[in-house]
Amino acid sequence: MWFANFFVASSMTMILPFLSLYIESYGNFSASYVQNWSGWIFGITFVTALIFSPIWGRIGDKYGRKRVLIISATGLGISILLMGFATNVWQLFILRFIMGVFTGFIPISQAFIVTQTPKRIAGRVLGTLQTGSITGQLMGPLIGGAFADVFGYAATFRWTSISIFISGILVYVGVKELMISFADDKDSKSSYSSKEVIAHIFSRPVLLVVMFISMLVQVAHFSVQPILSLYVNELHGSANIAFYSGLAFSAAGLGNLFMARRWGRLGDRIGYIKIVIFLLFMAGIVYFPAAFVTNIWQLVILRFFLGIAIGGIIPVRIAYIRQEAPLAIQGEVLGYNTSLRFAGNIIGPMLGGMLAGFFGISSVFFVTSGLLVLSGIIMLITWYRSEYQGNHAHRRLSSHHS
């Protein structure tokens, strides 16, 4: 599963560096036309993924997640393959729309892993799985840019689709799904309606806040993405701008890769919510000084520490969902969680661009820092009320009855 995630993550990011250039190749368009279509074509995938993630999660819960992984890989592979034959922006837009329908491979693989893993080691296993995704995301843009230079844009889409098909083959041949219930799961029901799934989420305040914070973290993380290259240009100048922008982007991924498994293991030992709270405050604190850096290397170092914090939140958060959701509904619950993450992916760049346009680039770092600290405060209060006040009330009720 690690290699399958690596291939999918690298393939999904291979086409991003030259997507706007591919649009330019369709004709002699103005800069504003290309920028507008780049935004629509990039964003539509997240919109459809937001809608379809819970649907695929529910199908996986009912019919098996291995089948859904194979369907996802096949749909992704075909849609990306056809992008290499697109001749205008509308065709590319429709294919990116279709791609979003199947963009659930990595979250579904996470649901697959959590249902095959005992709760006590879920954080460590998910942290290991995450390193496959991160490695793919780091290498994908580099490979995609090199392929585009050597083979051209259209051919790179076709090469990318091969990587996706390889992922599907790896899952089909090398992955076995055990339809079992572990002894530590006490739910007796084998199926739930969508209404019951939503009621389960809303009846657990900590779980609800963990899922809501999934969106806020993505908003915070993605708000900086559209303006990061502009910020690098301000700090370093236009010399080798692509290289230094890539370095700033990749620094966060390296920090993520370095610590994801360690945070997961620590969460298994001391509790997932404690780690999430700590990492939210850490990410907020690290974001703030980025507004005051005076050279590119200060920014790269801060981005590395940001990656350490943000990267730990993902596997630890999913491990907590594994702990709180019955096996029969974990795919659907993770689907809703993925939808919220995709919503953050959409809102973040819009918020960052708007703030930078009205108040300057530094304002994006201030707002992002505040958003992460606020998330940490909300998580801390909710967890405290549930863990301590709830237990205290339970003990008082027990002593009253005795």
Q: What is the pLDDT of residues 53-87, one digit of tens each?
A: 888 888 877 777 788 888 988 999 999 999 989 98
Determine the Cα–Cα distance for residues 161 and 158; give it in Å rounded to an integer.
5
Over 70: is that where the pLDDT of 391 sits? no
User: Is the distance from CB of 227 to CB of 360 less than 8 angstroms?
Assistant: no
The closest of 179, 164, 159 to 60, measured between CA atoms, is: 179
Q: What is the mean pLDDT of residues 356-369?
A: 86
Largest CA distance in the chain: 82
Each residue of 141-174: b (16+ CB within 10 Å) or e? bebbbebbeeeebeebbbbbbebbbbbbebbeee
How many CB atoms within 10 Å of residue 242?
11
| pLDDT, mean over the chain | 79
How many CA atoms, within 13 angstroms, populate the side-chain half-sphere of residue 262?
9
Determine the Cα–Cα distance for residues 288 and 339; give it in Å rounded to an integer.
28
Determine the Cα–Cα distance for residues 310 and 51; give it in Å rounded to an integer.
24
Q: What is the pLDDT of residues 321-338, one digit of tens each?
A: 878 877 777 778 888 888
Residue bearing the bigger pLDDT, 17 or 150: 150
How many CA atoms, within 13 angstroms, populate the side-chain half-sphere of residue 167?
36
295 phi-psi bin (left φ>0, alpha ψ -120 to 50, beta other): beta
What is the secondary structure of 342-374 as a DSSP string?
HHHHHHHHHHHHHHHHHH-HHHHHHHHHHHHHH
Which two structure tokens, joined as six digits, stand for 39?
Answer: 């935004």
Q: How confident is the model at residue 182 (pLDDT cuts 50, 70, 90)?
A: very low
Residue bearing the bigger pLDDT, 249 or 126: 249
pTM for the whole structure: 0.75
